[in-house]
Structure 1
Amino acid sequence: MSSIAFFRRLYALIIKESRQLLRDKSSLAIGLVLPIILILLFGYGLSFDLSNGRVAVVVQQSSPQSEQLISGLNGTKYLSVTPYTNFHDAEEAMGRAEVDAIVHLPSDFASQLENGSATIQMISNGRSTSIATTIQGYISGAFATAQAIQADRSQSSPAIGMITVEQRMWFNESANSMWFLVPGLIVLILTLIGAFLTGLLIARERERGTLEAVFVTPVRPLEIVIAKLTPYIVIGIVDIVMCLLAASWIFDVPIRGSLLSVVSASFLYLMVSLLLGLTISGFAQSQFQASQIALLASFMPALMLSGFVFDTRNLPVVVQVVSHLLPATHFMTLIKTLFLGGDDWRLWFKECGILMIYVVLLTVASCRSLKKRLR
């Protein structure tokens, strides 16, 4: 009889806990939706491949030999070739991160090749060392294939018309991965600190019952938002200063852009992170729910889909669209350019303008989340 009573009690407790889980939508979502999100993020986001390497080919004097070389580059599906007539335009395109590498053919390329050997210059964009190394291998392989095909067609020795490639890497001459990772870490730190600092503010006060005391006063939602953000903005500015000092003094990462452009862009992104956390906190029902949503909506996407480690161009089109909707993606592109490439004010105005739009939208959303609780 005791064993029967045990199983009855156990059955009743299981039914009770199962019903409680079904009523707790947040826990149910974490248990069922979170694994799906993680599978998609890691499945599509983790990719070291380069499927669309953008190559600028500078041909100062067109010839059959140069056309054959360009056709060799076009022969691989991993490279996308754009011809340029002068080196200056290609250099500006790399400065704007529009191309990943430059192949520069000298004006006497055809005569050099007829004399037995020719030297061409290949410059890769060192803002991402993994992409730079991969694209160097692709271009060298395409050249070798083009030479082998030409030697086979001419029925001559493969040694004739040999091409020597002089490789250089811009913006990260030593191919130091730390130069690539540290600016990205600043994005992750501001995302994590910003979203989690304010992500629990409203939810905590709602659980403690102190938010109602504020609501009975004549204070307006925008005033609550500004008041709650102000102390954390000060903390965030201190974090920005610490990040920049650590990048420069501890990790020896060059900051080639002006401090004005770097600090102003970082401050804008800090505001986006803080407002995102405050908006999540305003709509969340509890601190636990707010913390989970903040993790899924801010840190995880910033880590996987912003271009921190992996090139977002390798992702499916749908995932690329999602990544470009993330504020972290725009700040990641800008901060890496400012650190390693220097000031690019056209890019600065573009990306900071997008971040400013997010500031406005999230301010409105956070005010609406507080207005909703006043009803």
Structure 2
Amino acid sequence: MKPDSTAHDSGGMRLKGLLRKEFLQILRDPSSLAIAFVMPVILLLLFGYGVSLDAKHVSIGFVANHPGPQSESLLGAFRHSQYFSPQRLPDIQAAKHALDQRRINAIIHLQSDFAAKMLSGDTAPVQLIVSGVDANQARIIQGYVGATLQNWIKQQLELGGHASALPVEADTRVWFNSEVRSRDYLVPGLVVVIMTLIGALLTALVMAREWERGTLEALMVTPITLREILLGKLLPYFVLGMGGMALSLAMALWLFQVPLRGSIVVLVLASALFLLVALGMGLMISILARNQFLAALVAIIATFLPAFMLSGFIFDIGSMPFWLQWLTHLVAARYFVAILQTLFLAGNVWSVILPNAFALAVMATFFLGVSRLMLHKRLE
């Protein structure tokens, strides 16, 4: 009993000393603190305020060959919409020139007989010309113009006493993101990218730096065990990563007013699980690379870019080719994005949370286990 107790106590002292060393190194290293706390603030401010997938105040040109009460009424409908900023243009040539110069994004063109056909009850065509440079924005503009026209037609029928002329009326209801703000969708996904960088990049850089300086080799010749080395390296950066997550969560809730409809306890547990995956990936990269530049390059290519491009953070996975959709199952960020967006926008939907959490647990076990097998207490 006494020898085991002595060994246990000495192991605890070694681990405590190693943890103290790592925390002191973090405090003395401005780059680690900048990646953990400054970078999340910058990214959240850039994406929260500078990046928007919403099409609002879209500049459109409005051309009426023969202006009249009907064309003015339609122009007023676009002016009162939050989605458009219409500009009256004298003719279609001037409108096409403005579209070529990208001063406007679309053209609403009313023919000379628009009012006459409308008053006679005939079909009065409205020509819509949209710039297709940004295909996604073009589709959004088409949908918004169609909705604005439908509402205007309904108002005209009601004013003329023909409200029953529209036999079907669509009653639209948006679930989970009722304000249809892209910020509520982007900010939770950005938390995934931030935690990927903190977990994988910091761990890869720090371990590679230890290899370069020879300090890790010095640890290898001490009585410290591999388990103590791994815990001493991972625990400080786990704390740092959770601190970055807490800062990102606070900004999301109080600065950007993103709703959190799920449990904050589930969010913290899922974040801890994903951070273990990121730490395991960073540790494995550092063991293979043993060079800071190479470790940073591999970490960005293997963790950051997939988290940004293939996680569903910005680009819809269902719209990707089939082979690329299959490839996304190897990206840990995909599962964490699904959990975060569900917790923030929908709530505790366990049919989404549990399978994705299980996938993260499997990946964390795999990366940490492989890292443990790859790290040998011998010099090569």
Cα distance in 1 between the residues matched to 2:332 and 2:341: 14
For the structure 1 residues 246 and 206, does the alpha-carbon distance in structure 2 shift closer, same or farther, using more than 3 Å as the test? same
User: Which moves more between the two structures, 343-352 or 180-189?
Assistant: 343-352
Q: Give the drift of 1:374.
A: 4.4
**SS of residue paired to 1:166:** coil
Q: Does the 8 Å contact 1:323/1:329 carry over to 2?
A: yes
**Per-residue CA distance 1:255-287 (angstroms, 9 max, x = gap):** 000111111111111111122111101110311
For the structure 1 residues 361 and 374, does the alpha-carbon distance in structure 2 shift closer, same or farther, using more than 3 Å as the test? farther
| 1:1-375 → structure 2 map (5 Å cutoff) | 137=143, 162-371=167-376, 374=379
**SS of residue paired to 1:342:** coil
Give the residue type in structure 2 aligned to 1:206.
W
Cα distance in 1 between the residues matched to 2:226 and 2:346: 41
Cα distance in 2 between the residues matched to 1:314 and 1:372: 47
Q: Which residue of 2 aligns with 1:74?
A: none
Q: Give the drift of 1:350.
A: 1.2
**Per-residue CA distance 1:54-95 (angstroms, 9 max, x = gap):** xxxxxxxxxxxxxxxxxxxxxxxxxxxxxxxxxxxxxxxxxx
Q: Which residue of 1 aligns with 2:42?
A: none
Q: Does the 8 Å contact 1:282/1:370 carry over to 2?
A: yes
**Per-residue CA distance 1:334-358 (angstroms, 9 max, x = gap):** 1000000000123222111111111
Q: Does the 8 Å contact 1:201/1:278 carry over to 2?
A: no
Cα distance in 1 between the residues matched to 2:284 and 2:337: 22
Give the residue type in structure 2 aligned to 1:290.
A
Cα distance in 1 between the residues matched to 2:217 and 2:188: 41
**SS of residue paired to 2:170:** strand
Q: Does the 8 Å contact 1:257/1:342 carry over to 2?
A: yes
Q: Which runs of 5+ in 1 are unaligned?
A: 1-47, 49-129, 145-158
Q: Which runs of 5+ in 2 are unaligned?
A: 1-52, 54-135, 151-163
Cα distance in 1 between the residues matched to 2:377 and 2:324: 32
User: Which moves more between the two structures, 281-290 or 332-341?
Assistant: 281-290
**SS of residue paired to 2:171:** strand
**SS of residue paired to 2:168:** strand
Percentage of identical aligned residues: 43
**Which of the pair has more CA radius of gyration?**
2
Q: Give the drift of 1:161.
A: 7.4
Q: Which residue of 2 aligns with 1:26?
A: none
Cα distance in 1 between the residues matched to 2:206 and 2:373: 16
Cα distance in 2 between the residues matched to 1:368 and 1:233: 20
**Per-residue CA distance 1:23-72 (angstroms, 9 max, x = gap):** xxxxxxxxxxxxxxxxxxxxxxxxx9xxxxxxxxxxxxxxxxxxxxxxxx
**SS of residue paired to 1:363:** helix
Cα distance in 1 between the residues matched to 2:228 and 2:366: 16
Q: Which residue of 1 aligns with 2:130?
A: none
Cα distance in 1 between the residues matched to 2:226 and 2:344: 38
**Per-residue CA distance 1:99-146 (angstroms, 9 max, x = gap):** xxxxxxxxxxxxxxxxxxxxxxxxxxxxxxx89x96x959x99xx9xx
For the structure 1 residues 161 and 176, does the alpha-carbon distance in structure 2 shift closer, same or farther, using more than 3 Å as the test? closer
Cα distance in 2 between the residues matched to 1:345 and 1:336: 13
Q: Give the drift of 1:235.
A: 1.1
Q: Does the 8 Å contact 2:287/2:371 carry over to 1?
A: yes
Give the residue type in structure 1 aligned to 2:266.
S
Q: TM-score, normalized by length of structure 1?
A: 0.57
Give the residue type in structure 2 aligned to 1:347.
V
**CA-atom RMSD in angstroms:** 2.6
Displaced runs of 4+ in structure 1, greater than 2 A?
A: 159-163, 217-223, 372-375
Cα distance in 1 between the residues matched to 2:168 and 2:379: 73
Q: Does the 8 Å contact 1:199/1:278 carry over to 2?
A: yes
Q: Which residue of 2 aligns with 1:42?
A: none
